[in-house]
Amino acid sequence: MTNSLNDMRHAKSLIFIGSNAPEAHPISMQHILHAKEKNNAPIIVVDPRRTKLAAKATDFVRIRPGTDAAFMLGLINVITTNGWEDKEFIRTRVSGYEELLAVTKDYTPEAVEEITGISAEQTRHVAKVLAENRPTSLTWCMGGTQHSIGSSITRTFCLLQLVLGNMGKSGGGTNIFRGHDNVQGATDMCVLADNLPAYYGLAEGSWKHWCRVWDVDYEWIKSRFPKPELMQLPGFSLARWYEGVLGEEKLYQDTPLKAMIQWGCGANSNSQYNRVVQAYNKLELLVVVDPFPTMAAAACDTDNIYLLPSASQYETSGSVTSTSRQIQWRHKVVDPVHNSKDDYQIMELLVNKLGFADKFYKNIKQVPEDLTRELGRGALTIGYNGQTPERIKKHMENWHTFDIDSLQAIGGPCDGDYYGMPWPCWTDEHPGTPILYDISKPVAKGGLPFRNRFGNEKTYDSSGRTENQLAAKGVCNPGSEVEGGYSEFAEIVPGTNWKTDLSQKTLKVAIARGMAPFGNARARCVVWNFPDQVPIHREPLHSPRPDLIAKYPTYKDKQKHYRLDTRFESEQNPELVKEFPYVITTGRMVEHMGAGAETRSNQYLAELQPEMYAEINPRLGNNLGFRDGDMVWIESPEGSKIKVKAFFTERVDEKTIFLPYHFAGVLMGESLIDKYPEGHAPYVVGECGNVVTNYGYDIITQIQATKDGLCKVSKA
């Protein structure tokens, strides 16, 4: 989130696209409804389903799954043709705007209607509402990202906010809700295949930076890899790791994967889940660390699996990062019960056994405080260094002194700090940055410009135009020594820049000069290192509109995508829709969480949602000849199928079928409940919706496309 949940109270309008907050992020709703009630803020919900959030919306916009980018470009088209764009903001803080207009000019409301199914009138109406009610808070969640063009879709969201001038403003921003209390923290630690912690990437310099932080020899780390080049090659992504086991596709490493540790990961959130199960059985070793046995415990036919009972969040402590980038301290409530151990203990045992504890724990004497300190020392890119355990705990102890609207402490021991010191929090004295890219405040008081990361000048491929990438003259945070754009700070300490200067002198110097360590640049509309430099609409890999495939084809196939090849063009078959006529999309239900291992093991939640089902429009169900409550087979083009109960509802339209993805314990019609360890079967088992989610991955992030596949349905 560029802003915070609390800051959404200041929005004058809110637009949600691919987000169902009442089910996925219920606590955010108090701030959203506050804005609705207090500011009369219109709430626009764009979704293929009439969700529970739509029930609270002033406008519900039903969109065909996977066409979000087209709708956003259409909104920009209407806004710019009517002159509603924030001209001053664009002039001073945005680059590549003309190149953006060259793309959006084709996305007229009528063209958008053809692609998305949203009437031209409604697109115009939404654009007008957004233009008249600024600032707008824009929220997206997995509904915006899990597409083969997910990275383009999310960029169009940002572009809309840039065009409207809603970035860096209270009540505006792009506010991506993260799941539980530490999903943002997990992201910041980059539990990813292509990044070191705090988004440092995999370049040699990044490795060396972290080796300095960890105080270990870079050469030793290097020696741990079979080949030095593997060190900088992204690994297998979460979405496709199983291909590395199955070995049916070309792999960009010497051997298939042999062992797997799933730590707090109920993998039935993986698309193509039946292939995950095949991979489980092919692995030589599978270790599942979880408070509850995940489906892996039941799905493995072989005895290659070890279940390590881990403690829940109430049985351990440590720092966590919330969706609003706030770092909080999680205190232990009880000691781990039964024979479970907390994650730190499990990690320690593992590290000891592997024999490098001396290096691993070099800076860590006190768990978990030293963990927070060590990562803060290294994670300079995102300013994790000001949030010391002492400060975090002080914030927790003085909750009552923080203002619910501004999040700032009014008096008391934390006076002036923003709650949780939202990152970046550059120094021990910095209050945290409640709103990113906000140039109305001095940097030392939580203000920031846009980051200068991609050079100072660029000539665009599409137009040949050269543009300065730094912010315009006179546009900077109050008190800035340079009045206008400036580059990122480097060589304050020779041989380092603001990201790698562990002495943090660079940060302090920059802030003392009233300037942001990362420079003051423009937000880019053109991303020259992406396949679509300006995002455009491309049809989902498995599109229900063969006519549109020709006009909006997907990408060329991608080689060496992480450690695999990913099919795009060769997978997009206009004939597919004839056999698989319905769009399948997935999502959450409020009662269950993620893969559901925990919530389906809670009797009360199990009671509330005791069964897997597929949401089907009554008209579709009646046309296909089955009734509400009948069992139906849903089959994917990949040949997998699930047997679920049909639940007739008008939430979905006649072409779309919705599946909640929290269920597990039944695989392609066969119950595995007897295969759970004795006494540990969850109260509720059900088919995994992800068995039938289709092939399809984003070209940049390789996130799975679970929201826009195709399927066929028949009565069981």
Q: How far apart are CA 470 and CA 490, in angstroms?
A: 16
Confirm or reject binding of residue 9 to other proteins (CB under 8 A). Answer: no
Confirm or reject binding of residue 609 to other proteins (CB under 8 A). Answer: yes
Residue type at 515 in one-letter notation: M
Question: Among residues 379 and 605, whose Cβ is nearest to other proteins?
Answer: 605
DSSP strand pairing (13-17 vs 136-140): parallel
Q: Which of 1, 9, 16, 22 binds other proteins (CB under 8 A)?
A: 22
Comparing C-alpha atoms, which of 12, 403, 408 is closest to residue 171?
Answer: 12
Comparing C-alpha atoms, which of 514, 498, 508 is closest to residue 442?
Answer: 514
Which 8-state DSSP code applies to residue 311?
P
Q: How far apart are CA 204 and CA 207, in angstroms?
A: 5
Confirm or reject binding of residue 50 to other proteins (CB under 8 A). Answer: yes
Q: Hey, how many other C-beta atoms are within 10 angstroms of the C-beta on 27?
A: 11
Q: Which of 9, 52, 275, 445 binds other proteins (CB under 8 A)?
A: 52
Confirm or reject binding of residue 292 to other proteins (CB under 8 A). Answer: no
Question: Among residues 82 and 603, whose Cβ is nearest to other proteins?
Answer: 603
Question: Among residues 133 and 146, whose Cβ is nearest to other proteins?
Answer: 133
Question: Among residues 329 and 647, whose Cβ is nearest to other proteins?
Answer: 647
Confirm or reject binding of residue 590 to other proteins (CB under 8 A). Answer: yes
Question: Among residues 39 and 187, whose Cβ is nearest to other proteins?
Answer: 39
Task: Please identify, among the stretches 29-37, 143-151, 164-172, 399-407, the one whose residues bind other proteins according to the rule CB under 8 A.
Answer: 29-37
Terminal Cα-to-Cα distance of the chain (whole angstroms) = 44
Q: Hey, how many other C-beta atoms are within 10 angstroms of the C-beta on 285?
A: 11
Confirm or reject binding of residue 441 to other proteins (CB under 8 A). Answer: no
Q: How far apart are CA 179 and CA 197, in angstroms?
A: 19
Q: Which of 204, 457, 607, 654 binds other proteins (CB under 8 A)?
A: 607
Q: How far apart are CA 397 and CA 411, in angstroms?
A: 14
Q: Which of 9, 10, 36, 600 binds other proteins (CB under 8 A)?
A: 36
DSSP string of 265-287, one letter each residue: --GGGSSSHHHHHHHHHH-SEEE
Confirm or reject binding of residue 458 to other proteins (CB under 8 A). Answer: no
Tokens 């402490």 sit on residue: 409
Task: Please identify, among the stretches 170-178, 190-198, 436-444, 597-605, the one whose residues bind other proteins according to the rule CB under 8 A.
Answer: 597-605
Tokens 């660079």 sit on residue: 506
Least Å distance between CB 687 and other proteins? 14
β-sheet bridge partners, residue 641: 635
Confirm or reject binding of residue 180 to other proteins (CB under 8 A). Answer: no
| Phi, psi dihedrals of residue 665, rounded to the nearest 5° | 105, -5
Angle, vertex CA 647, rays to CA 642 and CA 652, nearest 5: 95
Least Å distance between CB 295 and other proteins? 21
Q: How far apart are CA 128 and CA 513, in angstroms?
A: 41
Which 8-state DSSP code applies to residue 337?
P
Residue type at 177 in one-letter notation: F
Confirm or reject binding of residue 216 to other proteins (CB under 8 A). Answer: no
Q: How far apart are CA 427 and CA 505, in angstroms?
A: 10
Q: Cα separations (Å) of 412 from 313, 394, 401, 408?
A: 29, 10, 6, 11
Q: Which of 290, 342, 369, 591 binds other proteins (CB under 8 A)?
A: 591
Question: Among residues 42 and 422, whose Cβ is nearest to other proteins?
Answer: 42
Least Å distance between CB 602 and other proteins? 8
Task: Please identify, among the stretches 233-241, 402-410, 494-502, 586-594, the one whose residues bind other proteins according to the rule CB under 8 A.
Answer: 586-594
Using omega within 30 degrees of 0 as the cis cutoff, is the peptide bond preceding 424 cis?
Answer: yes
Question: Among residues 527 and 590, whose Cβ is nearest to other proteins?
Answer: 590
Report 56-85 residues binding other proteins (CB under 8 A). Answer: 56, 58, 60
Q: Cα separations (Å) of 82 from 42, 97, 386?
A: 20, 16, 45
Question: Among residues 394 and 643, whose Cβ is nearest to other proteins?
Answer: 643
Task: Please identify, among the stretches 49-57, 104-112, 280-288, 535-543, the one whose residues bind other proteins according to the rule CB under 8 A.
Answer: 49-57
Question: Among residues 132 and 491, whose Cβ is nearest to other proteins?
Answer: 132
| Phi, psi dihedrals of residue 491, rounded to the nearest 5° | 60, 20
Residue type at 653 in one-letter notation: D
Question: Among residues 511 and 589, whose Cβ is nearest to other proteins?
Answer: 589
Task: Give the tokens for residue 222.
Answer: 């290097």
Confirm or reject binding of residue 463 to other proteins (CB under 8 A). Answer: no
Which 8-state DSSP code applies to residue 497?
B
Question: Among residues 582 and 647, whose Cβ is nearest to other proteins?
Answer: 647
Least Å distance between CB 14 and other proteins? 13
| Phi, psi dihedrals of residue 95, rounded to the nearest 5° | -120, 155
Least Å distance between CB 604 and other proteins? 5
Confirm or reject binding of residue 120 to other proteins (CB under 8 A). Answer: no
Task: Give the tokens for residue 345.
Answer: 């203990």
Q: How far is CA 73 from the centre of its chain?
A: 21
Q: Hey, how many other C-beta atoms are within 10 angstroms of the C-beta on 70?
A: 29
Q: Which of 611, 631, 677, 714 binds other proteins (CB under 8 A)?
A: 611
Q: Hey, how many other C-beta atoms are within 10 angstroms of the C-beta on 678?
A: 6
Question: Among residues 38 and 465, whose Cβ is nearest to other proteins?
Answer: 38
Least Å distance between CB 56 and other proteins? 7
Task: Please identify, among the stretches 24-32, 391-399, 441-449, 558-566, the one whose residues bind other proteins according to the rule CB under 8 A.
Answer: 24-32
Residue type at 367 in one-letter notation: V
Confirm or reject binding of residue 238 to other proteins (CB under 8 A). Answer: no
Question: Among residues 344 and 683, whose Cβ is nearest to other proteins?
Answer: 683
DSSP strand pairing (564-566 vs 558-561): antiparallel
Least Å distance between CB 23 and other proteins? 7
How big is the site for other proteins, counted in residues (CB under 8 A)? 39
Confirm or reject binding of residue 393 to other proteins (CB under 8 A). Answer: no
Tokens 């992030």 sit on residue: 701
Report 618-677 residues binding other proteins (CB under 8 A). Answer: 628-629, 645, 647-652
Residues contributing to the site for other proteins (CB under 8 A): 22-23, 26-27, 29-30, 33, 36-38, 40, 42, 50, 52, 54-56, 58, 60, 589-591, 603-605, 607-609, 611, 613, 628-629, 645, 647-652
